[in-house]
Structure 1
Amino acid sequence: MPPTTVGLFTGLLLGIAWVVGGFDAFVGTAVLGVVGFIVGKVVSGQLDLAQYLGGASRAPR
């Protein structure tokens, strides 16, 4: 799916969350969307979090 289509659907879903649940639901939906995006990048191998989690600083045994 092209990034523009994903962006469109994301914006529409955030708008629906805002209208239905108010600002709190909008912020919660946006935060969960960012978390899901990061998890997707890690799973697909496009993002390496080892340097932030301390995995890269360990010396081999």
Structure 2
Amino acid sequence: MSNAALGLIVGMALGFAGYFGGFGAFLLVAALGAIGFVAGRLLDGDVELGDFFRPRDRRR
């Protein structure tokens, strides 16, 4: 599935949630979508869990 088609599906889901459930439902669907996106990237091996918890490199 292309990124454009996936973006269309996500946008429609957020639109329906916002229309039928209000702003709170919109935020809930957006938050769950973000969690699902990160979980999918973890399962694909594109991101490692340690990347979120390592301190950033501080260069002067």
Q: Determine what percentage of the aligned residue pairs are the same residue.
A: 37
- How high is the TM-score relative to the length of structure 1? 0.82
Structure 2 Cα separation of the partners of residues 27 and 11 of structure 1: 13
Q: CA RMSD in A?
A: 1.2
| Counterpart residue number, 2:47 | 47
- Tell me whether 1:35 sits opposite 2:35 in the alignment: yes
**Larger Cα-atom Rg:** 1
Runs (4+) off by over 4 Å: none
- Tell me whether 1:24 sits opposite 2:24 in the alignment: yes
Structure 2 Cα separation of the partners of residues 7 and 35 of structure 1: 16
Structure 2 Cα separation of the partners of residues 2 and 47 of structure 1: 20
Structure 1 residues not aligned, in runs of 5+ = 55-61
